[in-house]
Amino acid sequence: MKTGNVEIGRRFERFQAACRKAGVKLTHQRLEIFREIAGSSEHPDAETVYRGVRARVPTVSLDTVYRTLWLLDGLGLITTLGPRRESVRFDPNLAHHHHFLCVQCGRAMDFESPDLNALSIPASVKKFGSVLATHVEVRGVCAACAKETVAGRTNVTGRPRRKPSKL
Amino acid sequence: MKTGNVEIGRRFERFQAACRKAGVKLTHQRLEIFREIAGSSEHPDAETVYRGVRARVPTVSLDTVYRTLWLLDGLGLITTLGPRRESVRFDPNLAHHHHFLCVQCGRAMDFESPDLNALSIPASVKKFGSVLATHVEVRGVCAACAKETVAGRTNVTGRPRRKPSKL
DNA sequence: TTAGGTGCAAATTCTTTGCACCCTG
DNA sequence: CAGGGTGCAAAGAATTTGCACCTAA
């Protein structure tokens, strides 16, 4: 899975511009960590990124990778898969349904929609494997969090609090 | 968020039938753990289920909750949100895209689809909060895993291996 | 210069495992 | 009665934090 050079270049520009705008420093480590992730269409975890970066910057620390990854996430330069920095959650609702996920507190709400149940998946997906289920994931900020977010701080720092806001 | 009694009853029957069919014992703890999760439309994590069950069965242990939850998952009685027992993964692809998630190995593949990008979300979702993004999550078994799964063992035991199959 | 970044090591939290005893089928 | 299931305590992993030194702007 390779990503075109043109696209990678674009991602770098976006990165540098975002750093400037957000007033965060453009360090060697950040550059290399970004390079590591921007160049792949894999969905690496922190450990994997760490291993890759260490090949070029032997002194980086795993926690810098974590901080940078969350920084990039905060800057909107990358996203995460699934629930955000929360552990696995279980869902007893076996009816076909969909989720609204709050990106602040991690809360998940169910909703139903016959239209969405009837989604047709592009044929190209079949080449990945056999399909068991399909659902729509909507991300946003839930009403409760929107209210709390007084001054719109976005915590771009890459230093998350351990429990963002346990439900 | 409450779930109707009829539906709960149905879930219990399904549970007992599934246990019988899979040949796993129907213990007091399992019943109570199932009751705890079947009765809510929250999406609790293991810790939350544990607290709830402990109110009725003071001696349950957290690890029994974990085992039972994964057992229920293995039996197809509940599902999980997001990636399956994997840590957070990051995605550098900012283009609107969708995911195919392998339920065996956790690998995620991107795919694009103008049709899916154009999904219209039901108006009822707006009451949850503001929508930032929407994407489709397809779950299935990837080609690689399908090949490996020789005898179709589904690991219903609830005793997962620590690293199911690190990508 | 100087506030923001970094590396290190220790702390935390979340999960899983080993094992002896217990209970369902 | 037998083998799966359970609780406990300890091991392991994945993340985060405190802090003193370093460096981009």
How many structural domains is chain B composed of? 2
Instruction: Tell me which of A51-60, A73-82, A118-127, A133-142 is least confident.
Output: A73-82
* Residues A139, B110: Cα–Cα separation, whole Å: 17
Closest Cβ–Cβ partner in A44, A100, A108 for B89: A44
Shortest Cα distance, chain B CAs vs residue A59, angstroms? 22
Residue B64 lies in a domain: yes
CA A60 to chain centre: 22
DSSP string, A55-68: HH-TT--HHHHHHH
Confidence check: pLDDT of B158 > 60: no
pLDDT tier for residue B39 given thresholds of 50, 70 and 90? confident
* Mean pLDDT (chain B, rounded): 80
Residue A88 lies in a domain: no
The pTM is what?
0.75
Side-chain-facing half-sphere of B28: CA atoms under 13 Å: 7
pLDDT cut 70: percent of chain B above it: 80
Residue B31 belongs to a domain with what CATH number? 1.10.10.10
Residue B93 lies in a domain: no
Provide mean pLDDT across the span A27-36: 93
Residue B163 lies in a domain: no
Residues A122, A63 share a domain = no
Residues B104, B51 share a domain = no
Residues A52, A111 share a domain = no
Provide mean pLDDT across the span B112-139: 90
Please give the residue range of the domain that contains residue A129. 98-150
Provide mean pLDDT across the span A13-42: 88
Which residue's structure tokens are 């390079």? A35
Instruction: Tell me which of A13-17, A29-33, B4-8, B137-141 is least confident.
Output: B4-8
Residues 115-134 of A with CB under 8 A from B: 115-116, 119-122, 124-125, 127-134
Residue A47 lies in a domain: yes
Residues of A whose CB is below 8 A from B103: 132
Residues A48, A105 share a domain = no
* Residues A109, A98: Cα–Cα separation, whole Å: 8
Q: What three-state secondary structure class fits A138? A: strand
B64 vs A104, more confident: B64
Residues A69, A104 share a domain = no
Provide mean pLDDT across the span B9-33: 88
Which residue's structure tokens are 């970004």? A34
Interface A:B, Cβ pairs < 8 A: 225
pLDDT tier for residue B34 given thresholds of 50, 70 and 90? very high
Residues of A whose CB is below 8 A from B46: 87-88, 90
Confidence check: pLDDT of A37 > 50: yes
Confidence check: pLDDT of A149 > 70: no
Confidence check: pLDDT of B166 > 60: no
Which neighbouring-strand residues pair with A40?
A: A2
* Of A64, A42, A43, nearest in space to A53 by CA: A64
Q: What local confidence, expressed as pLDDT, does residue A165 receive?
A: 30
Q: List the structure tokens of B44.
A: 């609790």
Closest Cβ–Cβ partner in B90, B100, B142 for A78: B90
Residue A137 lies in a domain: yes
B162 vs B42, more confident: B42
- Residue A37 near residue A44 (C-beta atoms within 8 A): yes
Residue A161 lies in a domain: no
Query: Phi and psi of A145, rounded to 5°?
Result: -70, -35
Q: Is the CB of A43 under 7 A from strand D?
A: no
Residues of B whose CB is below 8 A from A47: 87
* Mean pLDDT (chain A, rounded): 80
Q: What local confidence, expressed as pLDDT, does residue B43 receive?
A: 80
Provide mean pLDDT across the span B87-116: 82
Q: What local confidence, expressed as pLDDT, does residue B161 receive?
A: 45
- Residue B137 near residue B101 (C-beta atoms within 8 A): yes
Model confidence pLDDT, tens digit, residues A131-147: 988 999 998 888 887 77
Residue B90 lies in a domain: no
pLDDT tier for residue A167 given thresholds of 50, 70 and 90? very low
Closest-lying nucleotide for B87 based on CA to C1' = D14
Model confidence pLDDT, tens digit, residues A86-123: 566 778 777 888 989 887 777 888 899 998 998 889 99
Q: Is A28 exposed, middle or buried (0-12, 13-18, 19+ CB in 10 A)?
A: exposed
Provide mean pLDDT across the span B81-102: 74
Residues B70, B102 share a domain = no
Q: What three-state secondary structure class fits A134? A: strand
pLDDT tier for residue B162 given thresholds of 50, 70 and 90? very low
Residues B103, B67 share a domain = no
Q: What local confidence, expressed as pLDDT, does residue A152 receive?
A: 42
Bases along strand D below 7 A from a protein CB: 4-10, 12-18, 23-25
Q: List the structure tokens of B132.
A: 């930032």
The protein side of the strand C contact, defined by CB less than 7 Å from any of its atoms, consists of A 23-25, 27, 29-30, 57, 59-61, 63-64, 67-68, 87-88, 157, 162-163; B 19, 25-28, 45-47, 62-63, 66-67, 70, 85, 159-162
Give me the amino acid identity at A77: L
Confidence check: pLDDT of B33 > 60: yes
Are A145 and B129 within 8 A, CB to CB? yes
Are B89 and A132 within 8 A, CB to CB? no
Q: Is the CB of A30 under 7 A from strand D?
A: no
Residue A107 belongs to a domain with what CATH number? 3.30.1490.190
Q: What local confidence, expressed as pLDDT, does residue B52 receive?
A: 92
